[in-house]
A and B are shown apart, each in its own frame.
Chain A
Amino acid sequence: MRSVLRATVLALGLAGAVAVPAAARADGEYLRITPSTIQAGFQVEIDAYCGDTVNPVTVSSDAFGVVTITPRQDPQTNKYYIRGTATVPSNTKAGAYKVTLKCPSQQGAVTTLNVVNYAVQSHGPHTGGGFLATSSTSGTPMIGAGAAVAGAGVLLFFVARRRRVQA
């Protein structure tokens, strides 16, 4: 029991400093999907624990189908962790999807994955009426003055050269 607890604490640490992603637990088994909200077409990470089993486990959801993962032993703790990824197809409807972990022991865990699906547009929204608008000719005085100064410089250059040639 204590070792299971320790493993859980360690796994929490491994999952990053991230607090409370959607997680479920029964007798030490857990299932965590990160991020717990995802855009359709993107990938999520699966982090689960089924006790000391070496046999493949399945993680299934209507959002991404069935993923079979073989637990791998952590050399430091000798515990078997289940890590994998799943991609939510881009035609998945938005909504909350149940995700189920099934351990060989017939135990398991359940969590929720929220899928959003929006057609992202690169064109930004129209968020103004024009009251605060400055004229689009702002900067024109600067361009004019700059051009005049540059022109004066060119003139000075040639005047200086001609003087030298005469001298």
Chain B
Amino acid sequence: MFRPSRFLAVVIVLGGLFAVGLGLGQRHGFSLADMFKPPAKAPAGPFPVLDPSPPTRINIPSIGVSAPVHAVGQEPDGTIATPALHLRNEAGWYREGPSPGQYGPAIIVGHVDTKDKPAVFHRLRELSPGQRIEIVRRDRTVAIFEVNSVEQFGKEVLPVPRVYQDFTRPGLRLITCGGNWVGGSTGYADNVIVFASLIESRKA
């Protein structure tokens, strides 16, 4: 025998639990939409390989980024150092890693915001696969990268092999902050990371 009210009660309970799940997810930086994103994929076809040369500027026309880049090292706690917080429109290239255009992941970090203003990478999340990132280098070549994916990870659990150890082709990782504000020495709970691959180069 079909019992409409009992059936309805079960549906309501399940709906309520689903909402609780979404709320918990939202609180901990989990996004349902992220589950349906395609995996990061480098574009097919040939790619150039450039000699070492440090980056001097980063241009991302699609999200209005145009900023100088300077070299950064490591903090005492082993994380990659970042530009001083008051340098809103500057990015930092991790000088121990490859330069943009060499085989391997060139790492460029930038703040999402300062204490009172948005900063250089505040629109990084809006990038989508296929968009271009231009890195001007000291040797006056411009390395042009294509975005493979934009992803968010808890700061404690960055996937090290994917972010820092992919030497299959010249790549780029743009790193900024995201997720919830925890404060203290952590700041934001997550990192937003753009994975990109070199597709061409030209003279500046």
Chain-A contact segment, one of B62-70, B96-104, B130-138, B139-147:
B96-104
Does any Cβ of A come within 8 Å of B77's Cβ?
yes
Residues of A within 8 A of B23 (CB): 139-146
Interface hits, B57-85 → A, CB 8 Å: 74-75, 77-82, 85
A106 to B151, CA, bound (A): 52
Q: Which residues of B contact A18 (CB under 8 A)?
A: 46-47, 49, 169
Residues of B within 8 A of A77 (CB): none
Nearest Cβ in chain A — how far from B51, in angstroms?
A: 8
Q: Assuming the A-B contacts A17-B45, A122-B158, are A150 and B104 also in contact, with contact meaning beta carbons closer than 8 angstroms in the complex?
A: no
- Distance between Cα atoms of A21 and B101 in the complex (Å): 12
Query: How far is B4's CA from A157's CA once the two chains are assembled, in angstroms?
Result: 10
Closest A residue, CB atoms, query B120: A127
Interface residues of B in 33-55 (CB under 8 A from A): 45-49, 52
Among the listed stretches A37-45, A48-56, A58-66, A67-75, which one makes contact with chain B, having 4 or more residues with CB under 8 Å of it? A37-45
Q: A residues within 8 A CB of B116? A: 129, 131
Cβ of A164 under 8 Å from chain B: yes
> Is the CB of A36 closer than 8 A to any CB of chain B?
yes
| CB pair A136 B182 closer than 8 Å | yes
What residues on A are CB-neighbors of B180 within 8 Å?
133-136, 138
Asked whether A139 lies within 8 Å of B26 as measured between CB atoms, the reply is: yes
Number of interface residues of B (CB under 8 A): 84
Contacting residue for A146 out of B16, B46, B47, B117, CB 8 A: B16
Is A4's CB within 8 Å of the partner chain B?
Answer: no
Task: Let me know if A123 and B10 touch, CB within 8 A.
Answer: no
Cβ contact within 8 Å between B80 and A125 = yes
Contacting residues, chain A, for B112 (C-beta < 8 A): 127-128, 132
Contact B104 A38 (CB under 8 A): yes
The answer to whether residues A131 and B113 also contact, given A39-B167, A124-B191, A141-B23 and a CB cut-off of 8 A, is yes
Q: Please name all residues of chain B whose beta carbon is closer than 8 Å to the beta carbon of A121 when the two chains form the complex.
A: 74, 78-80
For residue A138, which residue of chain B has the nearest CB?
A: B26
Chain B residues near A135 (CB, 8 Å)? 180-181
B residues near A1, Cβ cutoff 8 Å: none
Q: Which residues of chain A have C-beta atoms less than 8 A from B74's C-beta?
A: 119, 121
Residues on A with beta carbons closer than 8 Å to the beta carbon of B157: 122
Say if the beta carbon of A2 comes within 8 Å of chain B: no
Q: A114 contacts the other chain (Cβ, under 8 Å)?
A: yes
Given the complex, which residues of A lie within 8 Å of B121, measured CB to CB? 127
* Contact of B3 with A by CB under 8 A: yes
CB distance from A124 to the nearest CB of B (A): 4
Is the pair A127, B177 in contact by a Cβ cutoff of 8 Å? yes
Interface pairs A-B: 5 shortest CB-CB: A150-B16, A146-B19, A142-B23, A139-B26, A133-B181
